[in-house]
Amino acid sequence: MELRGRTVLVTGADGFIGSHLVEALLAEGAEVRAFVWYNPFNAWGCLDLLPRSVLAGVEVVPGDIRDPGDVEAAAHGTSAIFHLAALVGIPFSYRSPAAYVATNVGGTLHVLEAARKLDIERTVVASSSEVYGTARYVPMDEAHPHQAQSPYAATKIAADRLAESYHRSFGLPIVVVRPFNTYGPRQSARAVIPTIAAQLLAGRGEVRLGSLEPRRDFTYVRDTARAFIAAARCDGAIGQDLNAASGRDISIGELAGLLAAKIDPAARVCSDAQRMRPRGSEVERLLGSSAKLRALAGWAPEWDLERGLDETVAWLREPANLRRDRAEVYNL
């Protein structure tokens, strides 16, 4: 599918990955309609951090992914939908699972129904590596079993399989893209890399985290945005689940050490009981294979972890981008 000159809808455009995808789509020559969460503050989330010159080329549509009428109206007249709108914080899903079902499952249903009614040419659904649970083998390909180790993971599994059902039942041209632990500028402090960096930049000499043993495959956000675009372009990707991973894993403790070396080498890293996930819920290892996405669409990561961390830390060092007074707050 050619994106240049086509109108595309990005749900969750106000989110971390969504804002980077908006930029990448604009660079590809697409006409971007950004669906953002309606709120009384007239805030556009991460889109508010984009230069005005970039935002000038974006049609911003406030709405609610939980409202089918909002979603269908936003999708009207578009050729493709990139569906990224979701509740993403795993710890908060323990507290408010019903909100995750309504947003992640119900919201995906509304996108699929809009795509079916409006005969949308391509729908790309954002998944998560959390659907796999702790690795049973590595690298983890798309055939790896799914295991819901949190309510969040359960809703993403449900959304993925709902998308599959619309492809199989109605012939909807759908691709599911499954990023592994995306990071980079604009990510909120609820994620592990900004959490570590924020505590280091606050200069208190200590970093408090949950378990330091889990291993994750971190993928830089620009590579993730490229993966969504590559999958949308590729006709052979229709009906497929596709991992987007760096192919390298690192423990949370080792990651904290890397960041400390860049910011405060003398800082102490310790586990905090408040930040530990419930027994049975912690995903111990994620290490992905992107061989399928590479074979079908030619995608491969361009950013290694060290370079990506340098860019992320540089962004976080800017006072306007980080609330240092909240560095010790545990963000669900």
Q: What is the dihedral of CA 28, 172, 19, 9, to 10 degrees?
A: 80
- Per-residue pLDDT for 268 more than 90? yes
CA distances to 142, 166, 272 from 231, rounded to whole Å, are 15, 18, 39
DSSP 185: T
CA distance 290 to 247: 7
Percent of the chain with pLDDT over 70: 98
Which band of pLDDT confidence, cut at 50, 70 and 90, is reported for residue 272? confident
- Per-residue pLDDT for 206 more than 80? yes
Look at residue 330 in the predicted model and tell me its pLDDT. 73
Fold entry, domain 7-183+218-244: Rossmann fold (3.40.50)
- Per-residue pLDDT for 332 more than 70? no
Return phi, psi of residue 295, to 5°.
-70, -40
Which band of pLDDT confidence, cut at 50, 70 and 90, is reported for residue 190? confident
Q: Can you give the residue ranges of every domain in the chain? A: 7-183+218-244, 192-216+249-285+304-326
CA distance 30 to 1: 12
Average pLDDT over residues 267-289: 91
- Per-residue pLDDT for 241 more than 80? yes
Fold entry, domain 192-216+249-285+304-326: UDP-galactose 4-epimerase; domain 1 (3.90.25)
- Per-residue pLDDT for 223 more than 90? yes
Which band of pLDDT confidence, cut at 50, 70 and 90, is reported for residue 324? low
Average pLDDT over residues 209-217: 95
Look at residue 276 in the predicted model and tell me its pLDDT. 87
Map tokens 């449900």 to a residue: 158
Look at residue 328 in the predicted model and tell me its pLDDT. 65
Which band of pLDDT confidence, cut at 50, 70 and 90, is reported for residue 37? very high
Percent of the chain with pLDDT over 90: 91
Average pLDDT over residues 220-226: 98
DSSP letter for each residue of 54-107: HHTTEEEEEE-TT-HHHHHHHHTT-SEEEE------HHHHHH-HHHHIIIIIIH
Average pLDDT over residues 255-262: 96
- Per-residue pLDDT for 232 more than 90? yes
Angle (CA) 307-207-301 rounded to 5° is 20
Look at residue 279 in the predicted model and tell me its pLDDT. 82
- What token pair was written down for 39? 């709120």
Q: Which of 54-58, 98-102, 324-328 has the lowest mean pLDDT?
A: 324-328
Look at residue 325 in the predicted model and tell me its pLDDT. 58
Mean pLDDT score across all residues of the chain: 96
Which band of pLDDT confidence, cut at 50, 70 and 90, is reported for residue 323? confident
